[in-house]
Structure 1
């Protein structure tokens, strides 16, 4: 029987394989209890082109509180979209890393879409 983390990683593997076949740039999201992280990873070499998280000083100052809530995820979503556009990236594939599309993951994705990122 799989534990919670192994089951999530198994789900993530299928998504990543599908994105790899498309050779698309992906927006990978990871969340912990206290923080949320977003990275834009190139489809050809797997290089990180842009990243944003609640660990960044500017985000922490903007939030004031911890990074484990929906408001923090929205800030990170807007920030990753701005950084992606600055790097010339318009289109990405959303990689939720096996996490359920709900709560903080959903808030990050919708904030990134509103800020102009297409997926």
Structure 2
């Protein structure tokens, strides 16, 4: 069997995790993250209707968006958007990434806004 690239392995891991993960509903949507080398993205998804309820990213920021501080800012912004939608708890989908660095900083910033995972 051919060796998988780093991204192929991550996608395979993401699909395995997503199969076990509770899908997002209108009451408890799924918060999915994606990180590239230069930016960080997050979406709040209702899987029952297939719609994105809210999304944030570091694209609009003039500063470098691929670091931990930028992920914290995006996490705070996402937490505020979740509170505006009056959602108390979510399902966190880390998309196969290790819970470390930018992903951890983002998740902790969302939790500081009062959202429960």
Name the TM-score, length of structure 1 as normaliser: 0.87
Q: Which runs of 4+ in 1 moved over 3 A?
A: 20-24
- Which residue is equivalent to 2:111? 113
The CA deviation at 1:107 is: 0.4
The CA deviation at 1:44 is: 1.1
1:13–1:73 Cα change, 3 Å? same
Aligned counterpart for 2:51 among listed residues 42, 47, 62: 47
Unaligned runs of 5+ in 1: none
CA contact (8 A) 2:31 2:91 kept: yes
Name the TM-score, length of structure 2 as normaliser: 0.89
Instruction: Tell me how many residue pairs correspond in the alignment.
Output: 113
CA contact (8 A) 1:30 1:97 kept: yes
SS in 2 for 1:30: strand
- Which residue is equivalent to 1:30? 34
Unaligned runs of 5+ in 2: none
The CA deviation at 1:21 is: 5.4
C-alpha RMSD over aligned residues: 1.5
Higher helix share: 1
Q: Please tell me whether residue 73 in structure 1 is matched to residue 79 in structure 2.
A: no
CA contact (8 A) 1:20 1:43 kept: no
